[in-house]
Structure 1
C-alpha cells in the first residue's frame, strides 16, 4: 500500500506553498485561487523524468512525491505532480477527485496512463473544473467540466468533447481540435495507478526510460516555456521560441541554470 497525503499537516502546506512561491494568506478557495495555484505549480515545479532515466526510477507514493517536490526541490511526472498537488488542494479546502485518462497524443488508446484532477467545492462552492500540472505543455488554468464549447486554457483554446468512450480534452490548433487525453469522471484511488507507473518505467520502447527531459512554464506574458531534452534546449519567453544544441558536457550546466536541479545519476551506457 502506498503512503498518501490525505491529511497534509499545516507545516507541510506552508512548505509546499513556499516551494511554488505562494503565501497562504493570499489563497482563496475559488476559481481565481485555484488558477493561481495551478500556474504557480507549473512555473516552479518541472515536468521531468530524470530519476527514471538516470537513477532507480520513482516510487508510486504520494508522500515520496511530496518529499521529492518540496524537500528536494525537484519535479516529476503526472503521478507525482498531480498526486502531490491533489494533497495540497485537499488540505486547502478544495474537493479533489483523481481521474484516470488515456493519453491520445500518439493516436487512439484505451490505456489509462495519465492522472488528472477534478477540483470543486471548498467554502466558495467552486463548480467542477479539470486541473492538470503533469502534462507538459498542456492546460495552464482550470477549465469547467460542465461546460460545452471552447474554453481558455491559459495557453490557447481547449474543448471537452463527450463520447460513449468518455470525455476528450482537445486543444484547438489552427482552429482544429487535437485530442490530448480521454477520461471518465470516475473517482480513482492513487493505488490504482501503481501498475501503469511500473509498466511505463520499465518499458524500453517508451520514451520515459530512454529520453531525459525537463520542462516548465515561464512566468512571462504571454506565457512561455523552457524544455531541455537529450541534446537540445528550447526556450520561449513569450516573444518567440529559440533553440540550440546542447552537448553532454553542457547538459548539467543548462539543467542547473533553467531548472535548479542536478542530474541524479550517470548517463546510461
Structure 2
C-alpha cells in the first residue's frame, strides 16, 4: 500500500497516522475503524460478487466508502497496518454456533499483531472488542465493547478460545495464513443458503454511545445500553443507509438478490 493510499485510508477512518507502530496507535486505529467502516453484507443482497483482491477491497471500502464482512475488513486493515510498520499475521477462526460447537475453519478472519507481545485485532466481527486484546493474557480484559477472555482451547493444538461477556465467540488457530486461503469460504459465505450472511441484509456500526444496526428493515439503536427498535418502510431504507452508515445506494438490498 503506497503513501497516497495510506493517506486516503486514514482519512476514511477519520484519524491520523500513528507516530510509531505501537499499541496506542493500534488502539486508536481499531476504534476509529469500528466507528467509521460498517460491518455489512449488502453486496450479497445487491447481487454484487465479493472479491478479496486488495485493489477491489480498497476501492469498495475506501473509495466507495462501503463496509464489508470479516475477510474484507480485516483483510484490508492488515495491509494498512503492514504499511504503517506493524508486523501482522492473518489467523483463521471457527465461530461458535448453537450449543457451543465451533464451526468450520476459515469461518472468520482475524489478525495477530506482534509488538512487545502478541495482540488480537478484529474489526470484522460485528459487536466485539473496541480495542486489541492480549493474546497471551488469560485474565479478563475489559473495554468499551465488553468483557473478554482469551484462553487455551481443549486439546493440544494451541488454539485459543475467545469469549465476549461470558459467551463463546470464536476458536482461533495460531498458524499463519494468506488472504487467498480464505477465498473458498468467502465464496461459500456469500452463496450458500446455509450461510447466515445470505439470510438477510445487515449493516451495523459502533457509535460513540453504543451501536446502530439495520437488519433487513428493522433499525436497532443501542445507546448507553438502552435498545430501541423500529421497522422502516421502503421509503426510509436508502436514507437510513446514508444517514446512519454513510452508504449511498441506488437500490434497496434484498434477500432475493
User: Normalized against structure 1, the TM-score is what?
Assistant: 0.88
- For 2:212, what is the secondary structure of its paired residue? strand
Note the C-alpha offset of 1:157.
1.1
More moved, 250-259 vs 132-141: 250-259
Aligned to 1:65, which of 37, 40, 57?
57
Distance in 1 (alpha carbons) for counterparts of 2:45 and 2:199: 6
Aligned to 1:114: 108
- For 1:185, what is the secondary structure of its paired residue? coil
Residues 117, 153 of structure 1: alpha-carbon distance in 2 compared, 3 angstrom cutoff: farther
Aligned to 1:247: 233
Q: Is the 8 A contact 1:142 1:153 kept in 2?
A: no
Aligned to 1:214, which of 198, 203, 213?
203
1:10-49 Cα shifts (integer Å, max 9, x gaps): 111000000000122x543211110010000000000000
- For 2:197, what is the secondary structure of its paired residue? helix
Q: Is the 8 A contact 1:143 1:152 kept in 2?
A: no
Distance in 1 (alpha carbons) for counterparts of 2:79 and 2:40: 20
| Residues matched between the structures, number | 250
Stretches of structure 1 that go unaligned for 5 or more consecutive residues are 1-7
Q: Is the 8 A contact 1:54 1:263 kept in 2?
A: no
User: Normalized against structure 2, the TM-score is what?
Assistant: 0.92
Aligned to 2:187: 198
Q: Is the 8 A contact 1:55 1:264 kept in 2?
A: no
Aligned to 1:79, which of 59, 71, 77?
71
Q: Is the 8 A contact 2:37 2:61 kept in 1?
A: yes
Aligned to 1:151: 141
Note the C-alpha offset of 1:239.
5.5
Q: Does 1:233 align with 2:219?
A: yes
Q: Is the 8 A contact 1:100 1:116 kept in 2?
A: yes
Distance in 1 (alpha carbons) for counterparts of 2:19 and 2:67: 22
Note the C-alpha offset of 1:66.
1.4
Residues 10, 184 of structure 1: alpha-carbon distance in 2 compared, 3 angstrom cutoff: same
1:190-244 Cα shifts (integer Å, max 9, x gaps): 1100110111111013231230010000023xxx100001121111232622221
Distance in 2 (alpha carbons) for counterparts of 1:27 and 1:244: 43
Q: Is the 8 A contact 1:19 1:44 kept in 2?
A: yes
- For 1:195, what is the secondary structure of its paired residue? helix
Q: Does 1:38 align with 2:49?
A: no
- For 2:55, what is the secondary structure of its paired residue? helix
1:154-209 Cα shifts (integer Å, max 9, x gaps): 3211001202252100112xxxx211000111100111001101111110132312
